[in-house]
Structure 1
Amino acid sequence: MENEKSQVDMCEKPNNDSKSSLKSSDNSNDHSTVIVPPNRVLLYGTTAFVSLGALLFGVISTIIASDTWLKEFGYPDSGVIGAVVSLFDVGCLFGALSNAWTAFGVIIQTFAVHIAMMIIGRFILGFGVGALSGLVPLYQAEIAPAHIRGRLISIEQMVLCFGEMIATWIDYGFSYLAPTLPIWWRIPLGIQIVPAIILVVGCFYILPSPRWLAEKERWDECLSVLTRLHGTEAAQIEFRQIQETIKMERETSVGSYAELFNRRYRKRTLIAMATAGLQQLTGTNSILYFAPTLFGKAGLDQQASFLATGGVGIVLFVTSWIPIWTIDRWSRKGYFMVGSFVMMLAMIGIAVTQAMTELHPNIIGNAGNVIVFWPYLFYTAFNITWGPLAWLVPNEIMDITMRAKGNALATATLWLCNVGVAQFSPMIVAKINWGLYPIYAGINFISIFLIYFFWVESANVPLEEMAALFEGIPRESRTAA
């Protein structure tokens, strides 16, 4: 996509030009006589392809907890481990570059011979992944019909979980080579370059976003893409909505970041940022980063810990299919609150189990089976609710001219919170051990009330009706208008 400056310049063009463009596009519609049916294969295929960016997430998460990795880098302290983990997230925070950085970061990580090389590689890799994490759900939201928007964005979560599952089982398989192949951990890291290369090539062939085309006044192309994806009848209706929305927003908006915090957008901006940030503060990455260590404290040996972590990967992938079929059938707020409640229970379960093993060391062997259950329960709830919704909601509640900026701010908030979690979790665990998990339980408890009182229900609402939704206009009036 072109940079945001061009979007702002476009928005500042005189209204007369905008009106003439809209008028000419309306006239071209009168000559459209060919009825094109919706192309679901193209829609789902495009959505799945761009989701390949999610395969790049989190491969190193289990690597850094392995004895082989720790030995290779001289058993670094918790602060250094936190830096290795969090510098990836810092890179994501500033990630507005291309996939070429992704491949470059993978190469540096894979061939790292010093902890500094690993940190630099993680940071550079984060640039590419940070860009993808914002652009992929933004693009998916803009090509999706309203009634299956949640389903299509949930596909990214499914692909992400597939990547994590593959990564955990590759880690498990290669861990058996640790005595004879001390550098086994480099192989899973190097595998990340495959989806990066595929994405670089494939980006030349995917359809452009119809709403991005509309912003650039490429109206014929916009209608053509909508027709190919949604069929003639739905495309004509959606095209008119986009035209009206663009016209209204050009008259009332300049498209700046400062505008995100004015009266019109402030509530949506805060919801988007809070949704993204709270996803990371549920505790999801703290469990995933240190799952082998968590299982080891319950009496599982290294191989059994990797096996249990591989089980987490299976749970993630299997449960990621559930929101694809259900997320657009129920309310967004209900999903959020149920997920927070179950994750709160899981965090309490982890804390209690770990505390019991410390107080009664003789039960450590039996505690292994119990402590495995709680992360599985946590990720089942997370993957059905907060996992996909934190990428979906910030992208669906913003207007066309502010969507890219609002989503960028929400994504930056997500990675900023991830930086804090990744940097400080190892140090907190080193100080208070299982005391970290009640903190996460409290955050999940508080989020239930935040969602109930402050979030706005956005399920199945067309993107062009979000402004009216947040202004409190009834659905019937919005549709009539």
Structure 2
Amino acid sequence: MIARFFLGISIGVKSTTVPIYTAESSPPAIRGALTMLWQTFTAFGIMLGYIMDVAFVNVRPDIYLNWRLMLGSTCVAPVVVCCMVWFGPESPRWYMKKNRCSKAFQCLLRLRGVPLLAARDLYYMHVNIRVENNMKAGRNLMKEMFTIPRNRRAAQSSFLVMFMQQFCGVNIIMYYSSVIFVNAGVSANTAILASLGAGILNFLFALPAIKIIDTWGRRPLLLWTFPIMSICLFFTGFCFWIESESVRLGLVVLGIYLFMIAYSPGEGPVPFTYAAEAFPLYIRDFVFHALQKKLNRNLLSTGTILSKALNTNEILKKATKYDLTNAVLFWSIICIIPR
């Protein structure tokens, strides 16, 4: 429990910091694509986790060495990433806020590669930060998040897309897919292997979004994602009523895989990208902390719902209910969320 507590703290810091850092460091033309890489490589890490599960599932299960290796193997990638972070530049915008202009210019020079572009962006940052500081002076940011119309609309839309990500049903699929496959009639080892397929699809179909998130736009990705996810969950839930075990298993796997294919390029990467762009710069850092708190509460609520359903096919009943949730969220996008 202590280890999971510190794991949660580190994930919270990462989830808040990475989108802001990326949005501050990226050129506007490719900002959406670079910001969504956070979610893409989260999917890549999940896929690696499933690969480790398959690799170690049969290693001395009599002394419970298999699950220890599964958990222990997850420390390798974070160590590699931690080493890489030391070679990355600081956010130039952060340096500018601390009046360390020469450091900011050096960072921009590394990021842009051309002195003229670095100098241009340094000047833009300087002007923007001066305007923001004047706007912040004597203001209550928490109050202004809801009293200023543009901030309120941005908060409403950003909170909604964050809520959508946690309650669209993906947590049931990713956390308990092996349980679902076991309930569909396969062995535990086969269920883990089938879960690996879901993890691979989650990563592979996040890759096209790197291109289309800046060409199609954020809202269109959400609009086509939710109807398909709703249909897939409805299909998967009702497939459990099929009496033939082989047919039931094949259709359940198909439904879950199609769900992941729909989720990965849409609702997976869009929320953090959308939230990073929706707010004025003077309030964005503050709002991201609030969004992360909301995300953590959503995760806690989702975990509570799922943990109460672990021992029976209630998991599938919950999953089936999410098809209605996705339909409601689809209409929420149409009515509430702007482009």
TM > 0.5 between the two? yes
Q: Counterpart in 1 of 2:182?
A: 296
- Report 1:423-442 matches (<5 A): 423-428=304-309, 430=312, 432-442=314-324
Contact 2:50 2:195 in 1 (8 A): yes
Partner of 1:384, secondary structure, is coil
CA–CA distance in structure 1, aligned partners of residues 259 and 185 of structure 2: 21
Structure 2 counterparts to residues 167-182 of structure 1, below 5 A: 167-182=49-64
Deviation at 1:340, TM superposition (A): 0.9
Q: Is the aligned partner of 1:394 residue 2:275?
A: yes
SS in 1 for 2:308: helix
Paired AA for residue 265 in structure 1: N
Q: For the residues of structure 2 that align with 1:167 and 1:203, how far apart are their CA atoms?
A: 21
- Say if 2:202 and 2:260, in contact at 8 Å, map to a contact too: yes
- Equivalent position to 1:416, from 297, 302, 318: 297
Q: Which amino acid aligns with 2:251?
A: V
Q: Please state how far the C-alpha of 1:392 moved relative to its aligned partner.
A: 1.0
Alignment-derived partner of residue 230 in structure 2: 344
- CA-to-aligned-CA distance 1:181-209 (integer Å, 9 cap, x gap): 42310112112323333444444432111
Task: Say whether the 8 Å CA contact 1:150–1:392 is kept in structure 2.
Answer: yes
- Which residue of the other structure, out of 304, 313, 329, is the alignment partner of 2:215? 329
Corresponding position of 1:250:
133
1:311 is matched with 197
Q: Tell whether the 8 Å contact from 2:58 to 2:66 is kept in structure 1 after alignment.
A: no
Task: Quickly say closer, same or farther: Cα 1:400–1:191, change in 2 above 3 A.
Answer: same
Any residues of structure 2 matched to 1:106-255 within 5 Å, and which? 119-230=1-112, 231-253=114-136, 254=139
- Evaluate the alpha carbon distance shift between residue 219 and residue 411 of structure 1 in structure 2; reply closer, same or farther with a 3 A threshold: same
- Is 1:447 the counterpart of 2:301? The answer is no
- Using the alignment, how far apart are the partners of 1:252 and 1:431 within structure 2? 54
TM-score between the two structures when normalised by the length of structure 2: 0.91
Q: Could you tell me whether the CA contact under 8 Å between 1:349 and 1:374 is conserved in 2?
A: yes
CA 178–443 in structure 1, closer or farther in 2 if over 3 Å, else same: farther
1:365 aligns with 2:250: no
Q: Who is 1:72 aligned against?
A: none
Distance 2:6 2:217 in 1: 38
Shift of 1:418: 1.0
How far apart are the structure 1 equivalents of 2:76 and 2:282? 34
Q: Provide Cα deviations, 1:92-142, integer angstroms capped at 9, x if missing partner.
A: xxxxxxxxxxxxxxxxxxxxxxxxxxx332222111111111111211111
State the number of aligned residues: 334
2:180–2:316 CA contact under 8 A, matched in 1: no
User: Using the alignment, how far apart are the partners of 2:101 and 2:38 within structure 1?
Assistant: 28
Partners of 2:105 and 2:119 within 8 A in 1 = yes
Partner Cα distance (1:320, 1:252) in 2:
38
Aligned CA RMSD, in angstroms, stands at: 2.1
Go from structure 1 to structure 2 and tell me whether the alpha carbon gap of 1:193 and 1:179 turns closer, same or farther (over 3 Å shift).
Answer: closer
Q: Distance in 2 between matches of 1:424 and 1:376?
A: 23
Any idea what the Cα deviations from partners look like across 1:64-91, whole Å, max 9, x if unmatched?
xxxxxxxxxxxxxxxxxxxxxxxxxxxx
For residues 406 and 255 of structure 1, the distance between their equivalents in structure 2, rounded to whole angstroms, comes to: 12
CA deviation vs aligned residue, 1:205-259 (integer Å, no higher than 9, x gap): 3211122222222233323322332234443443343233222222222473333
Q: Which amino acid aligns with 2:308?
A: M
Give 1:77-88 correspondences, 5 Å limit: none
Q: Distance in 2 between matches of 1:255 and 1:149?
A: 29
Q: What amino acid is aligned across from residue 256 of structure 1 in structure 2?
A: L
Q: Are 1:255 and 1:401, in contact at CA under 8 Å, matched by a contact in 2? A: no
- Match of residue 470 from structure 1: none
Q: Residue 450 of structure 1 aligns to which amino acid in structure 2?
A: S
**Does the 8 Å CA contact 1:279/1:414 hold for their aligned counterparts?**
no
Distance in 2 of aligned mates of 1:133 and 1:195: 17
Distance across 2 between alignment mates of 1:199 and 1:304: 31
What is the alpha-carbon distance in structure 1 between the residues aligned to residue 280 and residue 98 of structure 2? Answer: 15
1:384 aligned residue? 265
Q: Are the equivalent residues in 2 in contact too, given 1:292–1:309 (CA < 8 A)? A: yes
Q: Look up the SS of the partner of 2:259 in the other structure.
A: helix
Identity over the aligned pairs, expressed in percent?
24
C-alpha contact (below 8 Å) 2:52/2:73 kept by paired residues = no
In 1: Cα distance, 2:286 partner to 2:203 partner: 31
Whether the 8 Å CA contact 1:347–1:374 is kept in 2: the answer is: yes
**AA in 2 matched with 1:281:** F
Question: Which structure has the bigger radius of gyration?
Answer: 1
Structure 2 distance, partners of 1:451, 1:236, is 39
TM-score calculated relative to the size of structure 1: 0.65
* Cα distance in structure 2, aligned partners of 1:452 and 1:417: 22
Whole-angstrom distance in 2 between the partners of 1:445 and 1:420: 20
* Aligned residue type for 1:379: M
Contact residue 229 and residue 326 of structure 2 kept, 8 A: yes
Query: For 2:313 and 2:126, how far apart are their aligned partners in 1?
Result: 57
Q: Does the CA contact (< 8 Å) of 2:226 and 2:330 recur in 1? A: yes
Name whichever of 182-191 and 150-159 sits farther off: 150-159
After superposition, the C-alpha distances for 1:36-88 in whole angstroms (9 at most, x for unaligned) are: xxxxxxxxxxxxxxxxxxxxxxxxxxxxxxxxxxxxxxxxxxxxxxxxxxxxx
Structure 2 partner of 1:262: 147
Check conservation: 1:337, 1:447, Cα contact below 8 A.
Answer: no
